[in-house]
Structure 1
Amino acid sequence: MAYAVLHSLAQTTYQILNHDEYPISGKLKDQIRRLRQEVVSLRNFFELFPYEVNSLETRIRDAANEAEDVIEHWMHEHIRSPAATDIEYDFGELKMVMEEIISIAKEMQEIVMKLDGPRPRPAMLQSSPTTTTPDVDSFTVVGLKEQVVKLRVQLCKRSPSHRLSSRPVISITGMGGVGKTTLARTVYEDEEVVKRFPVRVWIALSQNYTMENVFEELLLSLEKQVKKGLVKDGSTTKSKIRKILTFKKYLIVVDDLWSEETWNEISEGFGDPYKRDESRIMITTRNEEVASSLSAAMYHHKMGLMDETESWSLLKQKVFPGKECPPELVKTGKDIAKGCKRLPLAVVVAARILAQRNQTQSSWEEFAQNVRTHIVEDTQFQKIMLLSYTHLPHPLRPCFLYMCGFHDDYEIRISKLIKLWMAEGFVKDQEEAEGFVKDQEEAEEYVIQLVSRNLALVTAIKFDGKIKSCVVHDLVRDLCKGKAIDENFERRISNSHLDLREVARAYASTLRSVISFHPNESSLRGLRKFKLLRVLDLVDTDAYSLPASVFELFHLRYLAFGCPMEVPSAISRLENLRTLIICPNKRSRQYKYSRDEIYLPLEIWMMPLLTHLVSFFDLLPDPEGAASPLKKLLTLSVVKKLICTEEMMKLICNVEKLSITYFGDIYQQDYMLHNLVLLSQLEKLTLVVTKGSLLQLKAKPVFPETLKKLTLSGWRFPWEDMKAIATLHNLQVLKLRDHAFQGSNWINASDEVVLFAKLQYLVIEDSDLEKWIIDKWRFPSVKNLVLKGCGKLNEIPKAIGYGPELEIIEVERANESLLKCVQEIRKTRTRSRYNLLLL
């Protein structure tokens, strides 16, 4: 975690040195400036020499942690209370830490000076089909028959020569322990495959390797499979290999490939990349990006987890090979298999441990009570599964360990995760202009990298293919919680059901993040001790109010809670707050659309760093002419009754996501929605009307051209008003809910102008629409069409149903006429990727 702490410390020192509100002496500023220089230097060392840094990582981590603790304690105590004493003592500690950091930096320079080439990377190579399968996925083949057939077909089928511009590579991907090597080995030894390929080689790469060893072992294996005399003794190893593989049809399996760099090195010896004799290369890898780049022209096979039936079958086979499981052990055995969370390697580990125990019901029941602990503590399981973590680039490691702090089966929304990472300082420094936007883009890339390495499993995606939510496999999370303790990372996050008073006793002086799921309000009393806290998420607690001590947390950047309370003016004391979320928990959902006159405090306009403001309960206060623009504000959601005056639009001028709720039966005033057009950065807009209508006020919004996503609910606009939306050139998502538009006919036919040019996702939900007429100039880009609660609509216009890009239509089974129409469309369409989903 050294890199993460250095990253965070670099941000903290930058903040002190570049902001006037920190009145420090010139001598102290010089000291902090020197510290920052050394910290940035060490951080660069991590990036340039990721392997060589291992020997210094623990010392760097501990020193950086101590330095950041000292500085942030000083910021909290002495900047908040200038009259406080002990300044000399605090910075005496900092001086001692500085000496350690300088000493480490000198050792680092010595290491760099000694480097004269890359570290040796030994390799392991297997050539004989009778060679023992590597331990990585050494378990019985269960549930792989269909996958074996698919891969065999891909290996043995003839490919049109014009489609292959380089080596035909077949890839097998999936998380560690899922069975990639077992599948590849089964295919490799398949009888038909053996007959098809006269030359076969299995290369199992270790974490480190040297190309000299790889090529020597490869040549040794090849010479055993070809006639003598094919290659001359005087040739180089690489030229001999190239000649054999140029003249012989081969199958090469590269098992456990980690990077394109490795592939580029090893593939140099594979002969002519454009030969057309049906030779094949098959790779296994945990990295989807590596697989996609190598197998784009051939075949990419993604392995998933087993189902529970397959898990139990595998467990039985491994514990009782060739025998039946005793009846009294079946129920407990199924519970154990279920506890393995569908991961084949976990089942194998559990089976090995069980096979060494007494085969009695009491013994199995004792094991079943702690099956996950037994698996995670197994040395072989740790060795295999932690490879994915140790291969992560240093910037990604804290991000992943942070994800592992959530509880079982917790579905993590990416939008929330990114805000948490940024609050913790895991993303790049905010030194550049528009730093926050750039940080957000980098954080999104971090998510993609973790998913591509199969460390996070996607649970939902957005219309544009971006990841909406994901989970970490329970066993991986359990394992990496232990890794977090080893790397002293638990001092940064408490993410549990524990009473916060217990957490305070252990980590109060250093804890940076608290995400609490504890239902007891009294557990919040320990918050007053968390002086360095950056993240506080209490949404899932049963608290009715926040303790006053929360508003003393000077370093707090992310605050989320679920109680419908009046936010005090003390919120402005949280000078570093970037994210404020007030959303309903299970107890407070009844308040979500409450129309009580509860306003956020006027001091909300005194928080210039505020970037995301989400409030399901409170109203945004009238600035009263004393406010400054919230120039960093990107999200304003789900504010009630916002009056969009020109002044208000200037105050939130850079907002990208805006969501507003109005109440049509009580508040009859002009909300000036025509001024929405002044929001020149707005990309996502949600406008909801509940309990009535605003149409009598002619409160029609005027939308900015920048909109990419628009959600309207309850407005009851006439369908003629759709013209204002149809011409939005950047609109990609349109959701019309709860009679957003009202009337029996929607007719899209006029002059030859392409409308809804970029619209990809269209939802019509709860509508009285009966007839929908479209000409050919409409909806050319729609991929997803969702029709729900449209009981009077019985036909989908051909212009959209047979659109060139349409992939999915979602309809309700209850609407038989519409269902029949969609089924007819599916029959007549020729595109194989078209799908019908029944709601």
Structure 2
Amino acid sequence: MLHEVKNRIKVIKSTVRSIYENKDFYGINEIDFKSGTSEGVGAEYLHRRRRDVEEKEVVGLVNESNVVIQKLKERDPNLNVVSIIGMGGLGKTTLAKKIYNKDEVRGMFSCCAWSYVSNDYIIRDLLLSLLKCLKSSMDECKDLSVEELKEKLHECLKGNKYLVVLDDIWKTQVWDELRGVFPDDKNGSRIIITSRLREVALYSKASFVYDLPFLDEEVSWKLFSKKIFGDKECPSDLEPLGRAMATNCKGLPLAIVVLAGQVAKKERSEREWRKIKDYVNWHLAQDKLVERILKLSYDDLPPELKPCFLYLGMYPEDYEIPVRILCQLWIAEGFIQAKEVRASNSPKPEDIADMYLDMLVERSLVQVASRRSDGGVKTCRIHDLLQDLCISESRENKFIEVCTELDANESNNPRRMSLQYRKRSLPAAKDNQSQSHSHTRTLLYSESQGWNQISNGFKLVRVLDMNKVALHSFPSGLNTLIHLSKIWKLNSLKHIYIKYNHLSTILPRGGASMRRRMKIGETRVENIQTLGYIFVEAQTASLLSKYMFPNLTKVTLCGRCEEQEVEVLGKILPFLNKLRKLKLVNVWSIPLVPNVIPVSLIKITIRSFEHLHSRLIKTLGQLADLQILKLYGGHIYGGDVCCAAGDFPQLQVLKMNDVFMDNGRWKIEEGAMPCISMCYDPRRLLSN
């Protein structure tokens, strides 16, 4: 029933919008929609308001417009599509309009046309708006069918060198419906598309995709100042406050102009400006324009991506989110649907999570902060205003509650709680012992100096992320979390990270019966795939050599750079026969005995080593599947490293930093490393 109601509402909205946009045909007078409710009248109203605030005070975009214009001027005679993509409110329409109106551009084309598409476009209206730009008679067009309008538009463009701008496309089907309308007469005609979705640009086979960047601090300030003072100078006593306000908008033009509009209405005094500076996002929230423009992107998300996006509100402002951990949390939360991972030949949950993240990036909702060597996203972040959107939507739907003070026991008992305490230390949670958070299943702690105790009130938590909280002892309160207190009973547990610690830390400490069940050598923990930052020591070798963790695919081992650890490594590595990724930190060396290195490895990172023998590098070159090799901080001895033809057959990334050859050099023969695509800092090492 709800689905049917939603579809009916959508049809009604489309009909109303069609009537409004065709008011000239129907003889309807212009209505001042701004005099109505504060909510406006939907997408058209939002577009006009955004256009007003974005386009009237165009600042900067000089380099951006020059880049796009150069692409329009290229001598390729074929019809080419140039796409401008970016987050909502970033100025895509402003940039396209600036280019469209330039005399230089107008002089390049015999005819130009512009159409605003939007998410709920009507193909008939879109065609009519293009024909209107081409000076076609609207009286002749109003009775034509959609197919007849397409034919007429094609006729108007045929034989002309034209420029067409399709602004704010949300669906690839727009291109499906229009591609046949645009003739390619091999005369250098061009189409500009603006969109928040990279998918649209790729689908249209754009010859050039321009990712519109955020404004830098200086341009942000110029835009902010011009909106308030016009061509006059900002008083020197207000400039630092004004610059701070502009910077707090994080380079989003829409936010800068909206905030400047509010500041312009206030008294020009330090006192008034300081009050706004300290609460920029709150003031932006008072004008619903920014939130509603950004919310269009959220509303357009497929159902499976909405919880993944809202989950980003769990992190503090400006936080660089580690993608690996984020994807693991999505899986733990159940956002990766079971039916997807059980289907035959379906990707792994981790691969699906990566795809979901890529989709959020492609929709301009997530920014890439850093990338891995293989090109995948390593860390990401979201704009502060999008984070505010996550939090407001989450609070409304009881999805997440963010607590920034020590007031968790006053919350509304949400399903997920993010504790973003801003004080440098946390007291014991004794005051919370009687408080029940019976609905809370997820608890995420942000950075802090310590975490003394977990409250009894969170005993039903199933997902716990302590992030970068520093713990100097095992938290006694962990035993109160009945779903998490016995690690070896967690059948779905796959990844364990205990930084720079002994493997014994995670061994059972319960009663005699528990110890018997977990007797070393008799128990196999099949589900664990990752062990992070475990010390190289005899106990580690004993546990791993007894195949206690038979399905490990990723291991980080840490040493103290002591020579005796080499022998221990020799007892550990041969038993990791399914290992895909190995990281060694602060080790003396790696033993040269045969069959030590797991042949299944695709990535090896060795950081802070004393010395490695050149023959070991030769041994690594024999690994058939090795794709990434990283060496940081150490010495290679034993003469030249000779890479013969066929060595490192799959190596794609070789990264070395502060690595020194004691008495030799690297020699690479033709045919070695045939797949290499990235090589960092090799200037002192590699020679032909």
TM-score of the pair, normalised by structure 2: 0.82
Q: Does 1:619 align with 2:502?
A: yes
CA distance in 2, matches of 1:748, 1:125: 75
Pairwise CA distance, 1:280: 0.9
Which one of the candidate residues 730, 741, 745 is aligned to 2:639?
A: 745
The corresponding residue for 1:213 is: 125
The corresponding residue for 1:716 is: 611
The corresponding residue for 1:507 is: 412
The corresponding residue for 2:261 is: 352
Letter in 2 for 1:379: K
The corresponding residue for 1:18 is: none
Letter in 1 for 2:664: K
Which one of the candidate residues 204, 215, 220 is aligned to 2:116?
A: 204
Pairwise CA distance, 1:653: 2.0
Which one of the candidate residues 372, 382, 395 is aligned to 2:304?
A: 395
Secondary structure, counterpart of 1:507 in structure 2: coil
Between 541-550 and 723-732, the greater mean CA deviation after superposition: 541-550
User: Aligned pair in 2 of structure 1 residues 452, 658: CA closer, same or farther (>3 Å)?
Assistant: same
Which one of the candidate residues 608, 613, 626 is aligned to 2:491?
A: 608
The corresponding residue for 1:82 is: none
Q: What does 1:121-136 correspond to in 2, within 5 Å?
A: 122=17, 134-135=51-52
The corresponding residue for 1:596 is: none
The corresponding residue for 1:832 is: none
The corresponding residue for 2:352 is: 442
Q: Does 1:380 align with 2:284?
A: no
Secondary structure, counterpart of 2:640 in structure 1: strand
Letter in 2 for 1:448: D
Pairwise CA distance, 1:787: 3.9
Pairwise CA distance, 1:685: 0.4
The corresponding residue for 1:145 is: 62
Letter in 1 for 2:686: P
CA contact (8 A) 2:84 2:211 kept: yes
CA contact (8 A) 1:673 1:701 kept: no
User: Aligned pair in 2 of structure 1 residues 749, 347: CA closer, same or farther (>3 Å)?
Assistant: closer
Q: Does 1:278 align with 2:188?
A: yes
User: Aligned pair in 2 of structure 1 residues 359, 552: CA closer, same or farther (>3 Å)?
Assistant: closer
CA contact (8 A) 1:174 1:303 kept: yes
User: Aligned pair in 2 of structure 1 residues 432, 403: CA closer, same or farther (>3 Å)?
Assistant: closer
CA distance in 1, matches of 2:671, 2:401: 54
User: Aligned pair in 2 of structure 1 residues 311, 684: CA closer, same or farther (>3 Å)?
Assistant: same
The corresponding residue for 1:104 is: none
The corresponding residue for 2:676 is: 782
- Deviation string 1:284-327 (CA, Å, 9 cap, x unpaired) is 1111222233244x211111111111112112222222333334
The corresponding residue for 1:35 is: none
User: Aligned pair in 2 of structure 1 residues 177, 516: CA closer, same or farther (>3 Å)?
Assistant: closer
Pairwise CA distance, 1:567: 7.0
Letter in 1 for 2:530: T
Pairwise CA distance, 1:355: 2.5
CA distance in 2, matches of 1:693, 1:217: 71
CA contact (8 A) 2:115 2:165 kept: yes
User: Aligned pair in 2 of structure 1 residues 551, 138: CA closer, same or farther (>3 Å)?
Assistant: closer
Q: Does 1:562 align with 2:562?
A: no
Q: What does 1:94-493 correspond to in 2, within 5 Å?
A: 107-108=1-2, 120=14, 122=17, 134-135=51-52, 137-159=54-76, 161=77, 164=78, 167-224=79-136, 236-268=148-180, 270-272=181-183, 274-296=184-206, 298-429=207-338, 432-433=341-342, 438-489=348-399, 492-493=400-401
Pairwise CA distance, 1:532: 4.3
User: Aligned pair in 2 of structure 1 residues 778, 303: CA closer, same or farther (>3 Å)?
Assistant: same
CA contact (8 A) 1:575 1:609 kept: no
Pairwise CA distance, 1:646: 8.6
CA distance in 1, matches of 2:639, 2:563: 30
The corresponding residue for 1:683 is: 580
Secondary structure, counterpart of 2:297 in structure 1: helix
CA distance in 2, matches of 1:139, 1:627: 74
- Deviation string 1:472-515 (CA, Å, 9 cap, x unpaired) is 112222244223333333xx343x4321xx2222234x433444
Q: Does 1:767 align with 2:660?
A: yes
CA distance in 2, matches of 1:562, 1:701: 38
Pairwise CA distance, 1:188: 0.3
Pairwise CA distance, 1:678: 4.7
Which one of the candidate residues 730, 736, 754 is aligned to 2:631?
A: 736
The corresponding residue for 1:534 is: 441
The corresponding residue for 2:514 is: none
User: Aligned pair in 2 of structure 1 residues 136, 253: CA closer, same or farther (>3 Å)?
Assistant: farther
CA distance in 1, matches of 2:497, 2:147: 70
Letter in 2 for 1:259: K
Secondary structure, counterpart of 1:521 in structure 2: coil
CA distance in 2, matches of 1:542, 1:155: 54
CA distance in 2, matches of 1:133, 1:197: 28
The corresponding residue for 2:30 is: none
The corresponding residue for 1:758 is: 651
Over the residues paired in the alignment, what is the CA RMSD in angstroms? 3.9
User: Aligned pair in 2 of structure 1 residues 114, 764: CA closer, same or farther (>3 Å)?
Assistant: closer
Between 642-651 and 458-467, the greater mean CA deviation after superposition: 642-651
- Deviation string 1:182-237 (CA, Å, 9 cap, x unpaired) is 110011011021122222111001321221222233334334399x99xx999922
User: Aligned pair in 2 of structure 1 residues 138, 481: CA closer, same or farther (>3 Å)?
Assistant: farther
User: Aligned pair in 2 of structure 1 residues 193, 701: CA closer, same or farther (>3 Å)?
Assistant: same
CA contact (8 A) 2:115 2:166 kept: yes
- Deviation string 1:67-96 (CA, Å, 9 cap, x unpaired) is xxxxxxxxxxxxxxxxxxxxxxxxxxxxxx
Identical positions, percent:
25
CA distance in 1, matches of 2:670, 2:385: 52
Letter in 1 for 2:200: V
Pairwise CA distance, 1:379: 2.2
Between 249-258 and 284-293, the greater mean CA deviation after superposition: 284-293
Q: Does 1:704 align with 2:613?
A: no
CA contact (8 A) 1:576 1:609 kept: no
CA distance in 2, matches of 1:114, 1:350: 37
Letter in 2 for 1:275: D
Pairwise CA distance, 1:604: 4.7
The corresponding residue for 2:511 is: none
- Deviation string 1:345-387 (CA, Å, 9 cap, x unpaired) is 1121122222223334443333333333212321222232222
The corresponding residue for 2:686 is: 797
Q: How many equivalent pairs are there? A: 638
User: Aligned pair in 2 of structure 1 residues 212, 658: CA closer, same or farther (>3 Å)?
Assistant: same
- Deviation string 1:743-776 (CA, Å, 9 cap, x unpaired) is 16333155x4343542323224343445313122
Pairwise CA distance, 1:606: 4.3
User: Aligned pair in 2 of structure 1 residues 616, 190: CA closer, same or farther (>3 Å)?
Assistant: same
Between 410-419 and 679-688, the greater mean CA deviation after superposition: 679-688
CA distance in 2, matches of 1:705, 1:305: 45
Pairwise CA distance, 1:460: 0.5
- Deviation string 1:74-131 (CA, Å, 9 cap, x unpaired) is xxxxxxxxxxxxxxxxxxxxxxxxxxxxxxxxx34865998999984757699xxxx9
Secondary structure, counterpart of 1:416 in structure 2: helix
Secondary structure, counterpart of 1:728 in structure 2: coil
Letter in 2 for 1:709: K
CA contact (8 A) 1:645 1:672 kept: no
Letter in 1 for 2:646: V
Secondary structure, counterpart of 2:555 in structure 1: strand
Between 681-690 and 554-563, the greater mean CA deviation after superposition: 554-563
Which one of the candidate residues 617, 642, 658 is aligned to 2:555?
A: 658
Secondary structure, counterpart of 2:118 in structure 1: coil
